[in-house]
Amino acid sequence: MKEFKLENEPKIESGFKTPEHYFENFSKNFMQQLPEEEPKVISLFQKNKKIVMMVAAVLTISILIPVVYNNSINANNNEIDATALENYLSYQSNINQYELINGLEADEIDNIKTTVVLENATIEDILATNGNLELLMLE
The structure's pTM equals 0.27
Q: How far apart are CA 31 and CA 36, in angstroms?
A: 9
As for how many domains the chain has, the answer is: 1
With respect to residue 21, please indicate whether it lies within any of the assigned structural domains: no
With respect to residue 79, please indicate whether it lies within any of the assigned structural domains: no
With respect to residue 61, please indicate whether it lies within any of the assigned structural domains: yes
Q: How far apart are CA 17 and CA 57, in angstroms?
A: 62
Instruction: Write the secondary structure of 98-133 as one string of H (helix), E (strand) and C (coil).
Output: HHHHHHCCHHHHHHHCCCCCCCHHHHHHHHHHCCCH
With respect to residue 25, please indicate whether it lies within any of the assigned structural domains: no
pLDDT computed for residue 44 by the predictor: 67
pLDDT in tens, 5-20: 777 777 777 778 888 8
Domain of 66 in residue numbering reads as 44-72
With respect to residue 7, please indicate whether it lies within any of the assigned structural domains: no
With respect to residue 67, please indicate whether it lies within any of the assigned structural domains: yes
pLDDT computed for residue 75 by the predictor: 62
93 DSSP assignment: T
pLDDT in tens, 50-105: 888 889 999 999 999 988 888 777 666 666 777 887 788 778 767 777 777 787 88
Interval 100-117 mean pLDDT: 80
Nearest one of 93, 87, 89 to 101, comparing CA atoms: 89
With respect to residue 29, please indicate whether it lies within any of the assigned structural domains: no
Contact between 87 and 95 (Cβ < 8 Å): no
